[in-house]
A and B are shown apart, each in its own frame.
Chain A
């Protein structure tokens, strides 16, 4: 008996012929998800393919950031003194706070995925909103840090000044400068550190902005109840993307902010 699945009106055929393929909801009767794309055999196969595809995309992101991380690794070894002093210009409390904010945002995203799986729509929407709030908070702190670099003339390019490094200002409390003065040629290499700092955190912030835009769209769709009846793939895949962006920051924070924080004398 050839189970011919013509392209028209396939939903009822599927129902009759492959009952075990559809998702069994609470009352145990079989319902086929409307989002079931025709070219997949089962919804399960579609979901597996979706997360596998998302992971492959994250692979490209790993290699994309990989190039930057290698450049950082190379120049940190070549110009360690410049990197150490320049890294001390970054504000550790703000960085640590940012890391905590992003971890919290990831936590709420994970709870969001859970809420979608157990089909609690209101909880899902709430979690997505929290994730967005913390995401935006992260960007706010980032913007403040960038502004501080702007004031100190640490943005690479024409306006970059190394005076801060060649003769470091005296710390009013201790009466002595916090840093050893850098030789002028080494001070010039601090511009490479700040270029890498802006390239890596800028690329990370750009990915955050994309994530937040997607979050607004997903929150709106979640609010319309699309993801609380078994179809969770978009939430799950966005969760993967969001956690990936969180992992990139988990590496960026120690590598950029904490190169050499122990006091020098």
Chain B
């Protein structure tokens, strides 16, 4: 039955008769303990989703407070100490408790086993341990906040963090140390699952690009995070014993801290963005009904980003007195690591060519991602070129750059993924028009917030300033106005997605008529995902195969 030519791809089952499948992973077992001690990767993904949303809104609240303070040039809302604690908490919570785990731990945990035809991740108990470590890390961060806050900035610059502050640095460092292991165990689980548990016939180049990008991010998690762990241990030891490797008065070298810290923290930004790119590949392909243009190029550029990500960290330290010659090497390698991102952007753009494109909410978020990530990426080139970095580093230009990549790129991709797979995770559809409104609101609010900060950056307004010269006020007022709109834009999904849990339309197996393996089974899926192990004999994003299957109306697997 060919659907009439409409402007949307969504085909829901007849709502009068459609029901949520009797047996699925949600109602398979009951009681709190069945959730808190679950081994099922889907339930752990839901647990992660709830805790990540909780911490996202705390971090967002601090962002709001910061923007409120910067409404006026004078330091009049809160004292300097409190303001420093605001931006430190905003940084720590957003990076370590939201951005690093967001797509891998929620969507990755839920979908990777299903997408490659496995029943579960390789180590379910370690997956649950990863969530508990994340929650303990989160609680410790909140403890540091409640006990009096930490004001070292999320970068813990020594010797400030080791000798010149008496706030709760050790509590915060322990929190990040523990949350880091949560990220290591997620990465470890993904790598073993992708290598060892693919269904028969699921070769490497038949896997969806979402799996490829999470694989690349997992390599970074496993190899990068431990260096941050040892660095924080050394900072804690230096605070406790007083002698250490970073104290210049006793012969230590504070630049050694910068090297060890940024060795992790730059790959960390690729851990944050790569899974988001995976979501975008899936969404763009589904809503243009076409295979991703240059599948192998996009897959290999994910791995290339992961590999080159380890070679470029010192571009955070160009003005810190690293030698001129090493600055040259790191600047050149930074230029190389930018190329795979450009490749991906053009491949997504050309995926649309000759497609049959529709504009549901995930697609809107994907378009927002492409636009904003292009700006974010290219402004990164400003900071990668040495001469420009001298003027632009440690100013609001940097703040605008990484918010364009993290909020404009990663958060848009996260919301695209949440909207795209919401029917699969909950069996319910979200209200289309309201979600499009929230997407547009977020887009407008975001640009209004961070575009003025580029201009402020070139004007030289420094980062982390509690008070600023009067001539910067106009741009800061614009930015704060944008922040309020952005806040509303991010609040809306919480409302209508919650609403859809009870009143949303029944989604059925494949509301978007997508080709992924996860769309061939019931939604919400069974605990063991497949009633029998699927045999894959078709390519990734194979819409002809989907067409043939739908014509035969055979539910092979579900």
Tell me whether B223 and A199 are in contact (CB under 8 A). no
CB of B487 within 8 Å of the partner chain: no
CB of B123 within 8 Å of the partner chain: yes
Segment touching B, from A61-69, A133-141, A255-263? A61-69
CB of A15 within 8 Å of the partner chain: no
Tell me whether B251 and A195 are in contact (CB under 8 A). no
Given contacts A52-B195, A53-B192, contact A41 B227 (CB under 8 A): no
Query: Closest approach, in angstroms, between the C-beta of B191 and any C-beta of chain A?
Result: 6
Residues from chain A with a CB closer than 8 A to the CB of B119 are: 38-39
Tell me whether A196 and B250 are in contact (CB under 8 A). no
CB of A2 within 8 Å of the partner chain: yes
CB of B182 within 8 Å of the partner chain: no
Please name 7 further chain A to chain B contacts, defined as beta carbons within 8 Å, in addition to the given A53-B192, A63-B224, sorted by A numbering: A39-B119, A56-B222, A63-B227, A156-B243, A160-B243, A192-B243, A195-B243
Name the contact of B237 in the complex, choosing from A49, A65, A189, A199 (C-beta under 8 A).
A199
Residue of A with least CB distance to B124: A39
Residues from chain B with a CB closer than 8 A to the CB of A188 are: 250-251
Tell me whether A191 and B253 are in contact (CB under 8 A). no
Contact pattern, A 199-224, Cβ under 8 Å of B = 1, otherwise 0: 10001000000000000000000000
Contact pattern, B 113-125, Cβ under 8 Å of A = 1, otherwise 0: 1000011111110
Tell me whether A45 and B196 are in contact (CB under 8 A). yes
Tell me whether B531 and A6 are in contact (CB under 8 A). yes
Tell me whether A56 and B191 are in contact (CB under 8 A). yes
Give B residues with C-beta under 8 Å from A: 113, 118-124, 126, 184, 188-189, 191-193, 195-197, 222-227, 229-231, 233-234, 237, 241-245, 250-253, 256, 260, 527-528, 531-533
Residue of B with least CB distance to A75: B245
**How many Å lie between the Cα of A134 and that of B270 in the bound state?**
44
CB of A264 within 8 Å of the partner chain: no
CB of A150 within 8 Å of the partner chain: no
Give A residues with C-beta under 8 Å from B: 2-7, 38-41, 45, 48-49, 52-53, 56-57, 59-61, 63-68, 70-71, 74-75, 78-79, 156-158, 160, 188-189, 191-192, 195-196, 199, 203
Q: What are the nearest 8 A-B pairs in CB distance? A: A67-B230, A39-B119, A39-B120, A64-B226, A63-B226, A49-B196, A60-B226, A156-B243
**How many Å lie between the Cα of A39 and that of B233 in the bound state?**
37
Tell me whether A192 and B234 are in contact (CB under 8 A). no
Given contacts A5-B533, A191-B243, A195-B244, contact A74 B256 (CB under 8 A): yes
Tell me whether A64 and B229 are in contact (CB under 8 A). yes
Residues from chain B with a CB closer than 8 A to the CB of A65 are: 230
Residues from chain B with a CB closer than 8 A to the CB of A5 are: 528, 531-533
Residues from chain A with a CB closer than 8 A to the CB of B225 are: 60
Tell me whether A48 and B196 are in contact (CB under 8 A). yes
Given contacts A41-B533, A188-B251, contact A66 B227 (CB under 8 A): yes
Instruction: Report the number of A-B residue pairs with Cβ-Cβ less than 8 Å.
Output: 118
Tell me whether A4 and B196 are in contact (CB under 8 A). no
Query: Closest approach, in angstroms, between the C-beta of A125 and any C-beta of chain B?
Result: 26
Residues from chain A with a CB closer than 8 A to the CB of B191 are: 52, 56
> A interface, by DSSP: helix, strand, loop or mixed?
helix
Residues from chain A with a CB closer than 8 A to the CB of B251 are: 75, 78-79, 188-189, 192
Residues from chain A with a CB closer than 8 A to the CB of B193 are: 49
Residues from chain B with a CB closer than 8 A to the CB of A79 are: 251
Given contacts A52-B195, A68-B230, contact A157 B243 (CB under 8 A): yes
**How many Å lie between the Cα of A60 and that of B533 in the bound state?**
33
Residue of B with least CB distance to A67: B230
**How many Å lie between the Cα of A7 and that of B256 in the bound state?**
53
Given contacts A49-B192, A49-B197, contact A38 B241 (CB under 8 A): no
Residues from chain A with a CB closer than 8 A to the CB of B113 are: 39
Tell me whether A199 and B234 are in contact (CB under 8 A). yes
**How many Å lie between the Cα of A41 and that of B528 in the bound state?**
13
Name the contact of B528 in the complex, choosing from A3, A38, A60, A71 (C-beta under 8 A).
A38
Tell me whether B242 and A157 are in contact (CB under 8 A). yes
**How many Å lie between the Cα of A49 and that of B197 in the bound state?**
8
Tell me whether B252 and A67 are in contact (CB under 8 A). no
Query: Closest approach, in angstroms, between the C-beta of A4 and any C-beta of chain B?
Result: 5
Query: Closest approach, in angstroms, between the C-beta of A10 and any C-beta of chain B?
Result: 9
**How many Å lie between the Cα of A156 and that of B251 in the bound state?**
14
Residue of B with least CB distance to A186: B251
Query: Closest approach, in angstroms, between the C-beta of B550 and any C-beta of chain A?
Result: 20
**How many Å lie between the Cα of A170 and that of B195 in the bound state?**
63
Tell me whether A52 and B192 are in contact (CB under 8 A). yes
Tell me whether B242 and A158 are in contact (CB under 8 A). yes
Residues from chain B with a CB closer than 8 A to the CB of A191 are: 243, 250
**How many Å lie between the Cα of A53 and that of B186 in the bound state?**
11
Residue of A with least CB distance to B527: A7
Query: Closest approach, in angstroms, between the C-beta of A12 and any C-beta of chain B?
Result: 16
Name the contact of A157 in the complex, choosing from B196, B226, B233, B241 (C-beta under 8 A).
B241
Tell me whether A67 and B196 are in contact (CB under 8 A). no
Complex A-B: 17 CB contacts under 8 Å: A3-B532, A39-B124, A48-B196, A49-B123, A52-B196, A53-B122, A56-B188, A60-B225, A63-B227, A64-B229, A66-B226, A71-B260, A75-B245, A157-B243, A188-B250, A195-B241, A199-B237
Name the contact of A196 in the complex, choosing from B126, B189, B192, B245 (C-beta under 8 A).
B245
Query: Closest approach, in angstroms, between the C-beta of A150 and any C-beta of chain B?
Result: 14
Given contacts A41-B533, A52-B192, A188-B251, contact A67 B260 (CB under 8 A): yes
**How many Å lie between the Cα of A65 and that of B230 in the bound state?**
8
Residues from chain B with a CB closer than 8 A to the CB of A40 are: 197
**How many Å lie between the Cα of A199 and that of B119 in the bound state?**
43
Residue of A with least CB distance to B28: A7
Query: Closest approach, in angstroms, between the C-beta of A9 and any C-beta of chain B?
Result: 13
Query: Closest approach, in angstroms, between the C-beta of B298 and any C-beta of chain A?
Result: 25
Query: Closest approach, in angstroms, between the C-beta of B243 and any C-beta of chain A?
Result: 4
**How many Å lie between the Cα of A65 and that of B195 in the bound state?**
26
Residues from chain A with a CB closer than 8 A to the CB of B234 are: 67, 71, 199
Residue of A with least CB distance to B224: A63
**How many Å lie between the Cα of A45 and that of B227 in the bound state?**
31
Tell me whether B222 and A4 are in contact (CB under 8 A). no
Query: Closest approach, in angstroms, between the C-beta of A106 and any C-beta of chain B?
Result: 23
